[in-house]
Amino acid sequence: MKGIFKRIACAAMAAAMLFTVGCGSSSSSSSDSSKAGSDDSLKKVMDAGKLVLGLDATFKPMGYTDENDKIVGFDIDLAEEVCKRMGIKLETYGVNWDTKEQDLNAGTIDCIWNGLSVSDERKKQMLMSEPYMNNVMVFMVDKDSGINSKDDLKGKKVAVQNGSTAQELLKESNIAGDITITELATNVEAMQQLDLKMVDAVFLDSVVANYEITSANKNCKTIEDPDYAEEYAIGFKLGSNELCKKIEETLKEMKKDGKVAEISKKWFGEDVTTIK
């Protein structure tokens, strides 16, 4: 356990250092545009009177479609409160997770706020906010499968979501050559294949796996590995420094007055956020 906490703490420190560069100047292009006074990202949102949030609407409990066909979730509650304090409305927009960056760059959405893990590859494609929550990728398996460690997966089929950091990590893992990787559009499809025994495991976010196991009373367990510790952040189009900064400031205000804790306890039973 000490190893896991140490790695997560180190990741948090590294991410915090990244954020100093993040919303200020994540790349030379975003920095230059800000200096040139062409960063109108916040003005566009305020003028439109709404923030368009892109998400994979199957990602429980961060943002998903409930039984009443309404988009709900932890990230959605956070975003709605942020928008309320900014005097604008929140609009959600379902995206294909594998091509979400295209929607961001085209201006179809203003941000990606849906359990978005920080990665080096993503930092090249988007401006990432300060991380607000810890996460670790896990292998979800049937309790009766006899799989108790990562090594037990050799020769097995493992499902993973396309376009996710889980996919990147799995392909780079030391067991990649010993397993069959099944790439699917959503975690929901991956877990359905696990239920049908079409795959032996699903590699996904612990937040999602634990929520599904608890809420659906699945006969499953998770296998953790400290090498897969990550953090969640909000993704913006490169150069959208002003919008990123405003949303971060609002989240920090919400943390101080207890609103973040209130929302977190609603979904997780405790404040799991890392907002300072």
The two domains 2-134+231-268 and 137-229 share their CATH topology (first three levels equal): yes
Can you tell me the distance from the alpha carbon of 62 to that of 36, in angstroms, rounded to the nearest whole number? Answer: 36
Average pLDDT over residues 101-120: 96
154-193 per-position pLDDT tens digit:
999 999 999 999 999 999 999 999 999 999 999 999 999 9
| pLDDT on residue 37 | 55
Q: 250 — phi, psi (to 5°)?
A: -65, -40
123-153 per-position pLDDT tens digit:
999 999 999 999 999 999 999 999 999 999 9
- Pick 2-134+231-268's CATH classification: 3.40.50.10420, 3.40.50.720, 3.40.190.10, 3.10.105.10: 3.40.190.10
| pLDDT on residue 32 | 42
12-71 per-position pLDDT tens digit:
444 444 444 457 444 333 344 334 458 999 999 999 999 999 999 999 999 999 999 999
pTM over 0.85: no
Per-domain boundaries in the chain: 2-134+231-268, 137-229
Q: What is the CATH number of domain 137-229?
A: 3.40.190.10
